[in-house]
Structure 1
Amino acid sequence: MQHLRQLLEIENSELAKLLRFSLYGLEATLDKARTELPLDPGAKVCDEVLQELQSLLQSKENSSFEDREDESDKLKLSRLQDAFDFDPELTHYLGNSPLQSHTDSDLWNEIQRKLLRVPEELAESWRQRALDLAQKVGAIEDNSDLYQLPFIRDEIIYPGLKGTVKAKGLCLSKQAFLKSEITPNNESGDLYLLAGFLNLYIKFIDIEPDLYHALKSLFGFDVISLHSKPEQRSQYIEALSDRFLRTQKAEKNGDPLSTLRAWIDMDEAIHSLIFVPPAERYSWWGKLQQESRRILKKIADKTINAGHDVRIRQLSGLYADICALSKDDLQLDCGGVPGEVLTCLRVYARINQEESPGRVIFRSSR
């Protein structure tokens, strides 16, 4: 380890920086493997290797990277920040955008919200690791102070911290939903869910600067940041609210075809609130949005039972295989697998022989 330490301590060295990045990745990989393979014959030695790596990376000279030396002196969670930024598995799902927070409280929440976009197994592993690193600087898990997002159920999304670091957690709150202005005044469970999405999205947009929209009716040529384009943010919320009201009206009128078309439009608006790269399908965010699509499938089945010929398809897989069923698609050069669909914004629909193309975001093949 002597020569590793010597190289790490060389200032302004690109080789030192490359080594440091590699060690963070190795540490994350071994730490995850050690948890999954507790009975492996190399487990004890692996623990010693991890201790040596932590000793190298926690030394005073290497407590921060060049571009955040002053900031890291102020952050108790700087160790967590560095480990998170340079985990190669996280980078695959989140892209190369580094963490932006300047306080421990903001850093905790930024990391936890990013974990909502990666596969749940990876997110859970990282949440535990984040708690372990927070405990090393004297902070402990706290579920007593949570920022509430109104929705149709109660759920702790992630905990806060107390002790040496104080940070709010995040939860879904049925009580906050019932107190909101936008609630359906009837017994429809489906509209109840849509009202939940509308309330949740409006509040979540307030606290998440990484959100984009890809709603074609507002702007059809690119994904648009809601943080840097406040006028687009207002227009997206207005469009979401308008589609909710149209769905309410269609449900009240009772025409199955009008209801189905309104639900397709509403589902498109829900799935058009995205991250870049788009959240992984089996992430917390991906599974939340799929709740809307399951209801859409149920509405389609009701329309079929009413005697109509209906086919609904969520577009996924290789873009070359589904592009004939979509239109005005968007292309990104990050996330997922090159040549594959990253997310389905609008489902393909065939209603009584009339086709309505879907719309997707796909990864460029280059």
Structure 2
Amino acid sequence: MEHLRQLLGIENSELARLLRFSLHGLEATLNQACTEFPLDPGIEICDEVLQELHSLLQPTPIPSQLNNAWQDAIISPQNQLKLSHLRETFDSDKELSYYLGNSQLQSETDSDLWNEIQRKLLRIPEDLAASWRQRSLDMAQEIGAIADYSNLYQVPFIRDEIIYPGLTGSVQTQGLSLSQQSLLNSQITQGNESDFSAGFLFLYMKFLEIEPDLHHALKSVYSFDIISLHSKPEHRNQYIEALSDRYQRTQKAEDNTDPLSILRAWIDLDEAIHSLVFVPPAERYSWWGKLQHESRRILKKIADKAINAGSEVRIRQLSGLYADICTSSKDDLQLDFGGTPGEVLTCLRVYARINQEESPGRVIFRSSR
């Protein structure tokens, strides 16, 4: 078991990635088997195996944060936060609570607090996020910490991008970046939409390791609610398995080169991409909102190819007042907070009409009360 843990901990390792996928699949299979065969003589041992797998697959904190947590405990008397003023200001901001809900920051060390705040800023409108990012840097500088753009935790994607800087000085912690090289190390690029879908797959795998606020609303996994992937690790495994399956189906469809098969596979993949959500969902013009919208742009290109090949295709992203679009959606989910009452908060699945065949969309909306 220790060697498995060591291999899983190696960054940018193809072998580690394949092992993690395999263990997630094994865990999901055993969970399903335990449900179907509760009286099996091996059920108790199987429960022990599942506990060991769950321990192996627990999200791994950013390495520098582990060191910094220990340093903070030593340097700060009684583990008092140097960035406490930043924390108090962030928690008390009413404009932020409109987009993020009323939950308070949870971090207990300066390094974790910096990363928690910066990741939350990815869910609010970009102009407000930019203002708050500068404000947080100014407050960090007041206690002797400055921005560090060189020490970055890399997340695989189709391009390079610094998402936010780390800190050096009185507080030392990594920032976060997208890395095309990390993606190239993880898979063989094919020069088409598969590169983009692979980018999302690997990006989501990494974010699920470092972001405890992520939820899923994927109907094929669970259709009745929005589920926390931190508190429900079995749902995290099932979501990853579903996302991986849809990614593989898009690759097979692209190999067959049939425009309608590719379109239908991408509609399903796009749904899985947009079903990884926060509560309340990220604002449309936030970093997260714009990132996910890149999938919709690819979907439009694929729809255009199907139209040029002679098919009748209509794709519609559902937005605006829920009362205006509810006839085009099905099995929608409701929240009592976030956004504007009576409006769609996010479109999980697009409405599609392909050669007279209709497929309803799916949304999360704010109740009108």
- Tell me if structure 2 keeps the 8 A contact 1:183–1:195: no
1:73, distance to aligned residue in structure 2 (A)? 6.8
- Tell me if structure 2 keeps the 8 A contact 1:215–1:268: yes
Specify the code of the residue in structure 2 equivalent to 1:280: E
CA 191–71 in structure 1, closer or farther in 2 if over 3 Å, else same: farther
Residue 279 of structure 1: SS of its match in structure 2? coil
Matches for 1:138-157 after TM superposition, within 5 Å: 138-157=144-163
Residue 156 of structure 1: SS of its match in structure 2? strand
Corresponding position: 1:228 with 2:231 = yes
1:259, distance to aligned residue in structure 2 (A)? 0.8
Q: For 2:183, which of 144, 153, 177 is the aligned residue?
A: 177
Q: Equivalents in 2 of 1:357, 1:339: separation in Å?
A: 19
Specify the code of the residue in structure 1 equivalent to 2:255: K
Corresponding position: 1:82 with 2:88 = yes
Gaps of 5+ in 2: 1-75
Matches for 1:94-243 after TM superposition, within 5 Å: 94-180=100-186, 182-184=187-189, 186-188=190-192, 190-243=193-246
- Tell me if structure 2 keeps the 8 A contact 1:212–1:224: yes
1:72, distance to aligned residue in structure 2 (A)? 9.2
1:183, distance to aligned residue in structure 2 (A)? 3.9
Moved runs in structure 1, 4+ residues, more than 6 A?
Answer: 70-73
Q: Which residue does 2:55 correspond to in 1?
A: none
Q: Equivalents in 2 of 1:358, 1:72: separation in Å?
A: 52
Residue 117 of structure 1: SS of its match in structure 2? coil
Q: Equivalents in 2 of 1:322, 1:78: separation in Å?
A: 44
1:187, distance to aligned residue in structure 2 (A)? 2.1
Q: Equivalents in 2 of 1:249, 1:150: separation in Å?
A: 22
- Tell me if structure 2 keeps the 8 A contact 1:316–1:340: yes
- Tell me if structure 2 keeps the 8 A contact 1:311–1:350: yes
Q: Which residue does 1:350 correspond to in 2?
A: 353
Q: Equivalents in 1 of 2:119, 2:134: separation in Å?
A: 14
- Tell me if structure 2 keeps the 8 A contact 1:131–1:140: yes
Q: For 1:365, which of 351, 354, 368 is the aligned residue?
A: 368
Q: Equivalents in 1 of 2:139, 2:259: separation in Å?
A: 54
Q: Equivalents in 2 of 1:136, 1:72: separation in Å?
A: 21
String of CA shifts for 1:227-284, please: whole Å, max 9, x gaps.
0011110110111010000000001101111110000000000000000000000000
Q: For 1:302, which of 287, 293, 305 is the aligned residue?
A: 305
Q: Equivalents in 2 of 1:242, 1:160: separation in Å?
A: 35
Q: CA RMSD in A?
A: 1.2
Residue 122 of structure 2: SS of its match in structure 1? helix
Q: Which residue does 1:40 correspond to in 2?
A: none
Q: Equivalents in 2 of 1:165, 1:239: separation in Å?
A: 39
Q: Which residue does 2:53 correspond to in 1?
A: none
Specify the code of the residue in structure 1 equivalent to 2:131: S
Q: Equivalents in 2 of 1:183, 1:202: separation in Å?
A: 17
Q: Which residue does 1:22 correspond to in 2?
A: none
Matches for 1:42-57 after TM superposition, within 5 Å: none
Q: Equivalents in 1 of 2:172, 2:79: separation in Å?
A: 17
Gaps of 5+ in 1: 1-69
Larger Rg: 1
CA 154–363 in structure 1, closer or farther in 2 if over 3 Å, else same: same
Q: For 2:291, which of 272, 275, 288 is the aligned residue?
A: 288
TM-score (norm 1): 0.79
> How many residue pairs align between the two structures?
294
